Amino acid sequence: MFNILKNKINSVVKSIAESVGKSVEKVPKEIAKKIVEKKISEKDLSEVLDDLEFNLLEADVALEVSDKIKDDIKKALIGRDVKRTQAKKIVEDTIRKSLLEILDVPKIDLKKVVKENKPCLILFLGFNGSGKTTTLAKVAYRLQKDGFSCVFAAGDSFRSAAIEQLEEHGNKLGIKVIKHKYGADSAAVIFDAFQHAKSKGIDVVLADTAGRVHTNQNLIDELKKIIRVNKPHLKILVIDSLTGNDAVEQAKKFEEAVGIDGVILTKIDVNTKGGAILSVCKILGKPIIAIGTGQEYKDLKEFDREGFVKSLGF
C-alpha span between 123 and 234 (Å, rounded): 6
Mean pLDDT for all residues in the chain: 84
- Residue 288: strand pairing partners: 263
Whether residue 213 is predicted with pLDDT greater than 70 in this model: the reply is: no
**pLDDT tens profile 163-186:** 999 999 999 999 999 999 877 899
Is this structure's pTM higher than 0.75? Answer: yes
Residue closest to 267 by CA, chosen among 302, 296, 291, 297: 291
Q: Indicate the domain borders of the chain.
A: 3-102, 110-311
**pLDDT tens profile 38-48:** 677 778 778 88
The answer to whether 178 touches 193, Cβ cutoff 8 Å, is: yes
CATH number for the domain formed by residue range(s) 110-311: 3.40.50.300
How many C-beta neighbours within 10 Å does residue 116 have?
Answer: 10
C-alpha span between 198 and 178 (Å, rounded): 13
Residue closest to 121 by CA, chosen among 95, 172, 155, 78: 155
The answer to whether 133 touches 154, Cβ cutoff 8 Å, is: no
Which architecture, in CATH terms, is 3-102? Up-down Bundle (1.20)
Helix (H) / strand (E) containing 238: strand 234-240
Whether residue 27 is predicted with pLDDT greater than 50 in this model: the reply is: no
pLDDT: is 78 or 27 the higher one?
Answer: 78
Strands 262-266 and 204-207 come out as unpaired
Residue 61 sits at the vertex; the CA angle it makes with 63 and 137, to the nearest 5 degrees, is 135
CA 16, 279, 297, 140 torsion: positive or negative? positive
- Please report the pLDDT score of residue 8 as a whole number: 67
- Please report the pLDDT score of residue 81 as a whole number: 75
pLDDT over 70 percentage in the chain = 88
**pLDDT tens profile 116-132:** 999 999 999 988 788 89
